[in-house]
Amino acid sequence: MLYLWIKAFHIVSVVCWFAGLFYLPRLFVYHAQSEDAISKERFSLMERKLYRGIMGPAMIATLIFGGWLIYLNPGIFSMGGWIHAKLTLVVLLIGYHHMCGAQVKRFARGENTRSHVFYRWFNEVPVLILLAIVILVVVKPF
């Protein structure tokens, strides 16, 4: 029963983390398009609060609950290569998360050099990673 509770909290944490990973780059799009100081300050505040207040704690909770699930099921690594591929994607997602954090700081300092078009494409990265992770976990193709 404990395993199912941990799995439920892991899934909720993942949903919260991805909500932030989907929304923060969208804020970057709007921020890159903004021209007045008031809008730029408002977007910087929203980005900082989303990154630190929601995304960071959700990522940490995701990793804690996911690690706990692995601890309770150590044989998972012998169930196929899907878990290794999934964990590789999680590492890439953590890198993407930190890239977002670096961008939050650049925007706050007024040092953004990228266009809104870049951020529209940047916003698609977590979608592709989520798609791959869900397929790996549900289908277990290898």
CA angle 20, 22, 24 (to 5 degrees): 60
Structure tokens at 130: 């989520």
Residue 10 annotated as lining a ligand binding site: yes
- Closest to 6 (Cα-Cα) out of 90, 64, 87: 64
Q: According to the annotation, is 86 in a ligand binding site?
A: yes
The answer to whether 103 and 116 are in contact (CB under 8 A) is no
Would you list which residues are annotated within the binding site? 10, 86
Instruction: Give the residue numbers of the binding site for heme.
Output: 10, 86
